[in-house]
Structure 1
């Protein structure tokens, strides 16, 4: 359940192009900068490159997986993408 802090962030976004992936990376970085989300490092299959070092325009690792937590309600969001084969990815609320 989102709160008024994280409600403006899209709950689900299918990533089917490099442009959509770049937009999702930018959205996550801006939300962290604005204090809406905080990066949740580590976890299963997390990306090697920290989000702070990730360029929205690439190059990217073959698999991207980042988790974020709302600084107010602790809702967790997940950004994941498979870039090697171009099968896409998703920005979504993590069930929980």
Structure 2
């Protein structure tokens, strides 16, 4: 499944030249460095920061679409005790204070985590997990 471009992490940096050698001044580590090249979940292997309720709504919707099309599945024993079952989660709101779910790609086994602290608005993220 394709992921909307605004969901994908923006990775960038600046480089400086010193004596013919380029140095990275700022670098976001790409989560793909040690992950499989699975065509099914490649668009999900990005870090997406959740800073607003709209971001969480979008992350939940994308996860639900990927569960529905059998790209990923929920790892039920990885869901926090404080979160309702993912199948009951509504993308439009009324979320638990802590939203935390684990998923895995049904084709390569790559794991993903969706977490957010909604009570105080602490934010969260969607991210692939290192194997």
Q: CA deviation at 1:95?
A: 1.6
Please give the alpha-carbon distance, in whole angstroms, between the structure 2 residues aligned to 1:86 and 1:48: 16
Q: CA deviation at 1:9?
A: 2.0
Q: How much is the aligned-residue C-alpha RMSD, in angstroms? A: 1.4
**Residue 113 of structure 2 contacts residue 128 of structure 2 at CA under 8 Å; is this kept in 1?**
yes
- After TM superposition, the score normalised by the length of structure 1 is 0.92
> Is residue 2:126 matched to residue 1:67?
no
**Residue 81 of structure 1 contacts residue 90 of structure 1 at CA under 8 Å; is this kept in 2?**
yes
Partner of 1:22: 57
Q: Give 1 or 2 for the bigger CA radius of gyration.
A: 2
Partner of 2:47: 12
Q: Work out which of the residue numbers 24, 36, 42 in structure 1 matches 2:71.
A: 36
- After TM superposition, the score normalised by the length of structure 2 is 0.69
Gaps of 5+ in 2: 1-34
**Residue 68 of structure 1 contacts residue 78 of structure 1 at CA under 8 Å; is this kept in 2?**
yes
Q: Give the total of aligned pairs.
A: 96
Please give the alpha-carbon distance, in whole angstroms, between the structure 1 residues aligned to 2:44 and 2:78: 22
**Residue 46 of structure 1 contacts residue 64 of structure 1 at CA under 8 Å; is this kept in 2?**
no
Runs of 4+ more than 4 Å apart = none
Matched position secondary structure for 1:66: strand
**Bigger RCO (CA 8 Å, 6+ sep):** 1
